[in-house]
Structure 1
Amino acid sequence: MRTRTGIAVIGVGNEFRRDDGVGWAVVARLKERAGDHAPPAGTVFATCDGDPGRLIGLWEGAGLAVVVDAAHAHPGTPGRVHRLELDAGHIAPPSATSSHGLGLGEAVELARVLGLLPERLVVYAVEGADSDFGTGLSAAVAAAVEPLVAAVEDEITAGSGS
């Protein structure tokens, strides 16, 4: 039996593939700030490699799930952030694609079919510049982290009804 959460914030990616680690960086920063900006009770911060089954397990039962992931766009603008919100059980196709083999759209569709979607799903997709092996974000993506942290904190506040 899975633990039910009020709000799930999930950083998707691979911290050892440069900009693909942006989701993990945002979650790490949110955890750091939680001491000063305590999130509402029932808020869970997690990271995931993007596997649809693991994503579904992390957001199952959530009233709000916020997902932060790297994206590829052609042409791309590294550091540009796209905000997508689940609408009637479907997520609008972004102008950027996931940096993983199976994208977030597949996880959403699977969760919809299985009846395991969160009540509300918000996705922040960040266009990356470098997904080579290594650690550390490119300058453009690193510059997007703090504004993303603030945006996710705003989503959490709005999602908690406070």
Structure 2
Amino acid sequence: MTDRLVIGVGNADRGDDAAGLIAAGFVADAGLDGVRVIRSAAEPQGLMEAWRGVPAVWLVDACVPMTRAGAVHRFEAHAAPLPERLGALSSHGISLATTIELARALGALPPRLTVYAIEAAAFAPGGRITPAVAEAARRVADEICAELAAPAEPAG
């Protein structure tokens, strides 16, 4: 079992909703040792099953824009709930925020869960990812890879 997991959430056939999947692909292409990468449609049971027993999880998903397409927000979801506005902005049947809070209530949240939300602009079926969101997915992947490649901090 791996101790580090990266989950890209999204739908490849809905334009910018593919941002999480694309970011996960970049992380997978980096070939970092001891890192498992999966792509998901954000189904709650599947996410909770994927991160069960994994101490550190990075999750990337698209959200509808609050400011501008391509803006990135990072949350330490193990420490505090995601902002309520993200729950209302999900492009999935059940919001990622709701899934995380369900996992928290069930005692099924990983010890560390870092969530990246990339503001998207276009969710039309069959649409292509917009350049700003594609660039944001690359930036997020680079940030995650840098964090994963850094030496582990000594236990306190």
What TM-score do the two structures reach when normalised by structure 1? 0.84
Instruction: Name 2:81's counterpart in structure 1.
Output: 91
1:109 is aligned with what amino acid?
E
Corresponding letter in the other structure for 2:148: I
Q: Over residues 51-107 of structure 1, what are the superposed CA-to-partner deviations in whole Å (9 max), with x where a residue is unaligned?
A: 111111111111111000000134x3000000011244x323165432212111111
The one-letter code matched in structure 2 to 1:80 is A
Equivalent residue for 1:68, pick from 60, 65, 77: 60
Say whether 1:110 aligns with 2:110.
no
Relative to structure 1, is the Cα distance of residues 151 and 95 closer, same or farther in structure 2, using a 3 angstrom cutoff?
A: farther
How many residue pairs get aligned? The number is 152
Partner of 2:129: 137
Match for residue 49 of structure 1 among 41, 47, 54: 41
Residue 16 of structure 2 aligns to a residue whose secondary structure is helix
CA RMSD of aligned residues (A): 2.0
Q: Structure 1 residues 65 and 87 mapped into 2: Cα distance closer, same or farther (>3 Å)?
A: closer
Aligned CA distance change for structure 1 residues 107 and 159 (closer, same or farther; 3 Å): farther
5+ unaligned residues in a row in structure 2: which ranges? none
Runs of 4+ with deviation above 6 angstroms: none
Q: Distance in 1 between matches of 2:56 and 2:119?
A: 23
Identity percentage of aligned residues: 34
In structure 2, the CA distance between the partners of 1:68 and 1:113, relative to structure 1 (3 Å rule), is same
Q: Give 2:33's aligned amino acid.
A: P
Amino acid at match of 1:138: T
Q: Which moved more, 1:125-134 or 1:138-147?
A: 138-147
Partner of 1:82: 73
Name the CA distance, whole Å, in 2 between partners of 1:81 and 1:23: 12
Distance in 2 (CA, whole Å) between partners of 1:40 and 1:161 is: 17
Amino acid at match of 2:128: G
User: Per-residue deviation at 1:161?
Assistant: 4.3
The counterpart of 1:148, out of the listed 135, 140, 147, is 140
Matches of 2:150 and 2:44 in 1, distance apart? Answer: 26
The counterpart of 1:15, out of the listed 12, 15, 30, is 12
**Aligned partner letter, 1:78:** A
